[in-house]
Amino acid sequence: MYAVLLKQLTKKLPRCRSNPKMDIGEDDESTGRKVVTTNEILDNLKTAVDLSLGLGKTTRERISNRAAEKIVEHPPKDTLKFLEAEVDGNASSDEEEEYSDTDEEEYDDDYKENVANGTGGKVKFDGSAEGGKSVRKFDRPGQLRQHLLKLAESNQGFVRHCGPDEWTVDFEPLMRGLREAELDVVIEQTCGPLGLRLARILRSKGKLDEKAIPQIALIPKQVMQVKLQEMEALDLVHIQEVPKDNKADVKKSFFLWYCDVDRSLNTLLLNSYKTMVRILQTLERLRQNDKDVLFYTKRSDVRGKEKDTMQGDYYERFARFLENERKLMGQLARVDDVVALLNDF
């Protein structure tokens, strides 16, 4: 279902990541907000897909539609302005409307009414509801809306409910989260679970003194120093020296460790390009070593019948080359996916 949503949405988008040089001259209609309606997703979704799976079954009286189907018109980056205004003490009119207690009061009223009527309770996943009442079966559009609302409530922000029966995807924050997840995979593979734990602590806490990290991470200081130095050599974490006075003295300085995600991603992208070049060089060297065998296989009477027409040692070399080529091309495809995630989308 999510794949169908992305396919329909990307038909209206020239690219997921905005490019000022390429977007010059485009009208406001082409660069405006792109949405997909529930009916568009439903029309392009295969009828064989069972949308009833993974949904809790409960009566309509137990659900507050005002709270569950809350519409968020602006992407997450726009809400940062509201938060900044709240910190400065000057709340805008949009902030007052968005953060009003109307929805909470309506939700509380619905909940109190349901409890008073005896319909409040836990959501059941079996085929029956409390009190012997049969659960109303959702129609297919209703089931699709429930799945879309689940995606909209996720922490990753897969979908945003931007209007009545309108859905969109905020690619910029979503792709940022995917890049950080790919960076976490690389850190765990190269530095182990401890390195990943330290990187996440630095990412969440910001710059930390070298003396404070062992207390937060609950690991010995020597183990922490060795692991951070190993990660610094790989450009996964960074250190900053802050002198206590005007005189630069190592003994009288603070050493702050921090994690620069953008810098680490750039290093990962550069290493990915280098890896792709090495793979192609290795493949070319293999072709040069077995060029006599490969030249023989280009003949029209040999192509497709290598096993029957080639001698035993020649065919073994050819089979070994094909196996090495398959492995190298598989590695190249995986690295290319990482490059696409870091640079293209």
Q: Which pLDDT tens digit goes with each residue over 129-179?
A: 444 344 444 588 888 888 888 888 888 888 888 888 888 888 888 888 899
Q: Using alpha carbons only, what angle is made at residue 3 by residues 80 and 36, rounded to the nearest 5 degrees?
A: 60
pLDDT for res 165? 81
pLDDT tens digits for range 64-79: 666 667 777 777 654 4
Domain ranges of the chain: 2-171, 175-259, 264-344
pLDDT tens digits for range 35-60: 888 888 888 888 888 887 777 766 66
Q: Which of 165, 137, 139, 161 is nearest to 149 (CA)?
A: 161
Tokens of 53: 């799976």
pLDDT for res 241? 83
Tokens of 123: 């959501």
pLDDT for res 54? 74
- Report how far residue 176's alpha carbon sits from residue 179's, in angstroms, rounded to the nearest whole number: 5
Residue 105 contacts residue 113 (beta carbons within 8 Å): no
Below-50 pLDDT ranges, the chain: 27-31, 78-123, 125-137
pLDDT for res 280? 95
Cα-to-chain-centroid distance, residue 294? 42
**Kind and range of the H or E run holding 251:** none
Tokens of 221: 């200081």
Tokens of 308: 């029957």
Task: Evaluate if pTM is beyond 0.95.
Answer: no
- Identify the bridge partners of residue 242 per DSSP, sorted by sequence position: 254
Residue 340 contacts residue 315 (beta carbons within 8 Å): no
pLDDT for res 71? 77
pLDDT for res 266? 93
In this structure, which topology does domain 175-259 adopt according to CATH? Arc Repressor Mutant, subunit A (1.10.10)
pLDDT for res 31? 47
Residue 63 CB-half CA count within 13 A: 15
Q: Which of 154, 162, 142 is nearest to 78 (CA)?
A: 162
